[in-house]
Amino acid sequence: MHDIRTIRENPAAFDAGLARRGAGAMADTILQIDSARRASITASDTARSDQNAASKLVGAAKAKGDEAEFQRLRALVADKKVDVARLEEAARQKDAELRDLLLTLPNLPDASVPDGADESDNVEVRRWGTPRAFDFTPVEHYDLKAVATGMDFATAAKLSGARFVVLRGAVARVHRALAQFMLDLHTDEHGLTEHITPVLVRDEAMLGTGQLPKFAEDSYQTTNGWWLIPTAEVTLTNSVAEQMLDAEALPIRMVAHTQCFRSEAGSAGRDTTGMLRQHQFEKVEMVSITAPADSMAEHDRMTRCAETVLERLELPYRTVVLCGGDIGFGAVKTHDIEVWLPGQDSYREISSVSTCGAFQARRMNARMRDADGKPDFVHTLNGSGLAVGRCLIAVLENGQQADGSVTLPDALVPYLGGKRRISAEGVLTA
């Protein structure tokens, strides 16, 4: 959420930031509501002051025995009391109107974010690894012989409908190994603290990280009001909601492996075959809470953490910085990491790493006190480290062999009992 004081001080800069996202100007509308709210507060304060002054005179009039003045002042106090209630309610309504509007507006891109309208304007930062030259035509993950029995979309469709999958046998074990490998890397080498969190949350948690109110249709809500998390960003970030943190406690670096749930309401017709885009999937999520001065450096650090997963798995990737028109709702700046999928002959997103500045912290009232005791909002960052299902796809497609088997990365062998191959029959072998 935005700081109204910043908008008051420089409305043109606020609108310019929205324009970089392709959004229309909003400063005038915001300031009109804010002006009406402040006017109601001022009028309410004046009416309350008048009420208090008249109340003091009531006793004096009664003591003097001036019945007419006593009755006049009593009536005046009653009128002022009504005025105060009316004006306070008007101020509350304007305050709610202003907050509701600000909650729907996206964050403003950092100056270092490139201009652009959509993903075609994103800027590549670097590449790692060389896509393998196959001596046969590589296929997509769902056409591999090695997964014919281990990746079951038909049973999942019978159970739940489209965009679900049942994994079994060797494929399920490799999927589990990937998540364990990611967690071990992030905790042992990257210094993140592992968390196990709920996957059901209240409205306030979804509001705090920006899924509500604007993107309610993209998430699932239970009949008793809980929301299924679309990412552990929601639970990890909100773990510091309504807190005042000491500067010495920062940065806080967290990681969690959870199920995630998304309706994919805006993705009709996209990636309908295979498990690239699912309603239910697993993800290892990284979240950092930092002092404002440290968030950009932490953003680069988190990006490297995600990239390291792919490097250890020997998967070629590229990293791009998203343009103003493509960054997510709450982000100030985002790096997308795209892994090479030979079956599609293209790079596909496997991680988004974003810094949100104080945007989420202001929504959930997460603050810090610096060395001088001055309070300020913390900065929040989040990133996939990585999406487990998409990583499974990349491992299968990049390791596929002409006979339909799959050779697995060395980094996974310790998690698979020394096995390093899925045979064409779908069996883990040495």
Q: What is the pLDDT of residue 268?
A: 66
Q: What is the pLDDT of residue 81?
A: 85
Question: Per mean pLDDT, which range of 67-71, 203-207, 376-380 is the poorest?
Answer: 67-71
> Are 317 and 339 in contact, with CB atoms under 8 Å apart?
yes
Q: What percent of the chain has pLDDT over 90?
A: 87
pLDDT digits (tens, 9 = 90+) for 75-99: 887 888 888 888 899 999 999 999 9
Q: What percent of the chain has pLDDT over 70?
A: 98
Which residues, listed in sequence order, are joined to residue 349 by a DSSP beta bridge?
A: 338
Q: What is the pLDDT of residue 9?
A: 97
Which residues, listed in sequence order, are joined to residue 123 by a DSSP beta bridge?
A: 321
> Are 170 and 420 in contact, with CB atoms under 8 Å apart?
no
**What residue numbers does the annotated binding site cover?**
231-233, 262-264, 285, 349-352, 382, 384
**What residue numbers does the annotated binding site for ATP cover?**
262-264, 349-352
303 contacts: CB under 8 Å, gap ≥ 6: 319, 335, 337, 353, 383
Question: Per mean pLDDT, which range of 45-59, 303-317, 324-338 is the poorest?
Answer: 45-59
| Tokens read off for 227 | 């929301």
pLDDT of 261 over the 90 cut: yes
Q: How far apart are CA 323 and CA 404, in angstroms?
A: 39
pLDDT of 55 over the 90 cut: no
Angle between helical axes of 11-20 and 27-64 (0-180°, round to 10): 140
Indicate the residue type of 181: F
pLDDT of 389 over the 80 cut: yes
Q: How far apart are CA 320 and CA 334, in angstroms?
A: 8
Q: What is the pLDDT of residue 72?
A: 82
> Are 277 and 163 in contact, with CB atoms under 8 Å apart?
yes
Burial of 56 (0-12, 13-18, 19+ CB in 10 A): exposed
pLDDT digits (tens, 9 = 90+) for 110-155: 999 999 999 999 999 999 999 999 999 999 999 999 999 999 999 9
Question: Per mean pLDDT, which range of 38-42, 267-271, 351-355, 384-388 is the poorest?
Answer: 267-271
pLDDT bucket at 71, cuts 50 / 70 / 90 = confident
Considering only CA atoms, which of 311, 335, 303 is closest in space to residue 391? 311
pLDDT of 371 over the 80 cut: yes
Can you give the pTM of this predicted structure?
Answer: 0.93
Average pLDDT for 197-223: 97
Q: What is the pLDDT of residue 361?
A: 99
Considering only CA atoms, which of 352, 315, 316, 317 is closest in space to residue 336? 352
Q: How far apart are CA 285 and CA 390, in angstroms?
A: 14
**What residue numbers does the annotated binding site for L-serine cover?**
231-233, 262, 285, 382, 384
Considering only CA atoms, which of 380, 351, 358 is closest in space to residue 285? 351
Q: What is the pLDDT of residue 427?
A: 98
The DSSP bridge pattern shows strands 333-341 and 227-228 to be unpaired
Phi, psi values for residue 364, rounded to 5°: -110, 10
pLDDT of 267 over the 70 cut: no
Q: What is the pLDDT of residue 216?
A: 94
Question: Per mean pLDDT, which range of 52-61, 95-104, 206-215, 238-247 is the poorest?
Answer: 52-61
pLDDT of 188 over the 90 cut: yes
Considering only CA atoms, which of 307, 300, 270, 279 is closest in space to residue 386? 307
pLDDT digits (tens, 9 = 90+) for 9-20: 999 999 999 999
Q: How far apart are CA 390 and CA 87, in angstroms?
A: 55
Give the gyration radius of the chain's Cα atoms: 28
Q: What is the pLDDT of residue 266?
A: 63
42 contacts: CB under 8 Å, gap ≥ 6: none
Query: What is the DSSP secondary structure assignment for residue 277, as one 8-state letter?
Result: S
Burial of 322 (0-12, 13-18, 19+ CB in 10 A): buried
Which domains does the chain possess? 4-104 (1.10.287.40), 119-429 (3.30.930.10)
Q: What is the pLDDT of residue 270?
A: 75
Active site residues: 262, 277, 349, 352, 390
Q: What is the pLDDT of residue 64?
A: 74
Q: How far apart are CA 395 and CA 181, in angstroms?
A: 13
The DSSP bridge pattern shows strands 244-246 and 367-369 to be parallel
Q: For residue 2, give the 3-state DSSP assignment.
A: coil
Q: Cα separations (Å) of 164 from 144, 263, 339, 375, 413?
A: 18, 11, 22, 46, 27
Indicate the residue type of 132: R
Residue with tokens 């079994």: 168
pLDDT of 205 over the 70 cut: yes
Omega cis (within 30) before 386: yes
pLDDT bucket at 100, cuts 50 / 70 / 90 = very high
